[in-house]
Every structure is written in C-alpha cells, then in structure tokens.
C-alpha cells in the first residue's frame, strides 16, 4: 500500500474508541482515518493527533490525556490509533452538531454547520497530523498548554488515584500518588477520569 492514505466518512455504523469502547456518533459528525508509516516509534502519536485536532478545531477545545477532545467538560471528539504491520492508522471522530447529546458528550457547533464542514475539518486534521509527524520533536509544550488533565485529581482502573502533574517526553502522564510519582502509559491503563468530588 502506498501511504499516506486518508479516508473520510459522514457516518459510522460501528464506531469505537480505545480498548473497544463504543463511540456514539452525533446526527452531524465526521470520521477520518489516516494510514501512514511512522518515522520514529518514540513519538506519542495519540498526543500529536490531539495537537493536530486542536489546531483545526480551535483553542476553545482542550485535550484530555490521552485521546479525548473536550469542549467545556463534554467530549466532542475522540482519537484512536491502531497498528497494522508497519503501518499506523490514526482515527479522529468529531461530533459536529447534536441537539440532545447524552450526558458527558457534546458537539462542536450549536447549529448544524452543513455537510461541507466535516470533510473540511477532517482533511485539515489529516494534513496537520502528517506535517507534525515529520518534525524531529513532537509539540509537547503545545500539548501541555491544552491538556485539561493537568492539575486534576484522577482515578483510573484498576485501582489508581492521584493528581496529574506533567506529561513526560514519551507521552506518559506523570501522576503524584500517596506512594509517590508514577507514570501512566496509555496502553497500560483504562478509563482515566476526574476523581468525583
């Protein structure tokens, strides 16, 4: 296969998120997947994909480590990465308009932006992502400035609890717990969320 390959769709019949979780699609949404050969295995691609999403969607959205895009506290977009041989497929699903979303979910727009907006955003995200992965350093400072997880008290499965204090150079989330500092890898933990007050 010649890479990169970009596929854009208005609808999904079986959208899914990380670790097989379901992805609920808004009435007006877009999904985009980009297949490419990574230049280096050390780049935290899900975080880079988040930076690319924020560049396209605007600074009113924030990034929840490791793969969610939030507007206020509601998830409006999600990122999924999968490996297939020497290829990586990066996916982004964006909920564009949703009159009555379920709790915790939302949409980017308060009015239906029409059918053209989704493909425009999808193509812009793919272009930004493919540009960023060519850089010798991933945009860590830009990610830190956009990361809503920092400073938050978090819980994660199976039994973790602590305060997020940094994102390391390898993309792991640095968390201060009662037992000391730990680093969370996106592949090793599930359901990182804010601790209930």
Based on the fold, state whether residues 141 and 169 are members of the same structural domain: no
Based on the fold, state whether residues 50 and 32 are members of the same structural domain: yes
Based on the fold, state whether residues 142 and 157 are members of the same structural domain: no
pLDDT tens for the 197 residues of the chain, in order: 677 999 999 877 766 655 556 667 899 999 999 999 988 878 999 999 999 999 999 999 999 999 999 999 999 999 999 998 889 999 999 999 999 999 999 999 999 999 999 999 999 999 999 999 999 999 999 999 999 999 999 988 777 899 999 999 999 999 999 999 999 987 666 557 666 55
Based on the fold, state whether residues 117 and 168 are members of the same structural domain: no
Based on the fold, state whether residues 15 and 56 are members of the same structural domain: yes
DSSP, collapsed to helix, strand or coil, labels residue 197 as coil
Number of domains in the chain: 2
Based on the fold, state whether residues 42 and 72 are members of the same structural domain: yes
Based on the fold, state whether residues 98 and 53 are members of the same structural domain: yes
Residue recorded with tokens 């998830």: 75
Residue 32: which CATH number? Answer: 3.30.930.10
Domain of residue 171, residue span: 153-194
Based on the fold, state whether residues 14 and 103 are members of the same structural domain: yes
Based on the fold, state whether residues 125 and 167 are members of the same structural domain: no
- pTM equals 0.90
Based on the fold, state whether residues 140 and 69 are members of the same structural domain: yes
The Cα 10–Cα 145 span in angstroms is: 31
Based on the fold, state whether residues 130 and 164 are members of the same structural domain: no
Based on the fold, state whether residues 140 and 178 are members of the same structural domain: no
Q: Percent of the chain having pLDDT more than 70?
A: 88
Closest CA to 138 of 38, 35, 43: 43
Residue 172, token pair as written in the block: 């792991």
Model confidence pLDDT, tens digit, residues 27-56: 999 999 999 998 887 899 999 999 999 999
Model confidence pLDDT, tens digit, residues 89-109: 999 999 999 999 999 999 999
CB contact burial 152-181 (16+ within 10 A = b; e otherwise): bebebeeeeebebebbeeebbbbbeeeeee
Residue 184: which CATH number? Answer: 2.30.30.100
């Amino acid at each position: 296969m010649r890479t990169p390959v970009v596929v854009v769709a208005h609808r999904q019949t079986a959208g899914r998120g990380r670790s097989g979780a379901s992805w609920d699609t808004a009435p007006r949404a877009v999904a985009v997947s980009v297949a490419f050969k990574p230049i280096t295995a050390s780049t935290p691609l899900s975080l880079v994909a988040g930076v690319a999403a924020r560049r396209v969607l605007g600074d009113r959205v924030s990034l929840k480590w490791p793969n969610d895009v939030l507007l206020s506290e509601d998830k409006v977009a999600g990122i999924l990465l999968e490996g297939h041989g020497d290829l990586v497929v990066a996916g982004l699903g964006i909920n564009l308009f949703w009159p009555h979303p379920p709790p915790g979910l939302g949409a980017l727009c308060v009015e239906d932006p029409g059918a053209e907006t989704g493909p425009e955003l999808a193509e812009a995200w793919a272009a930004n992502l493919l540009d960023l992965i060519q850089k010798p350093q991933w945009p860590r400072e830009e990610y830190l400035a956009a990361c809503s997880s920092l400073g938050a008290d978090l819980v994660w499965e199976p039994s973790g609890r602590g305060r997020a204090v940094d994102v390391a150079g390898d993309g792991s989330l640095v968390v201060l717990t009662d037992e000391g500092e730990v680093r969370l890898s996106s592949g090793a933990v599930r359901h990182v969320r804010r601790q209930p007050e």
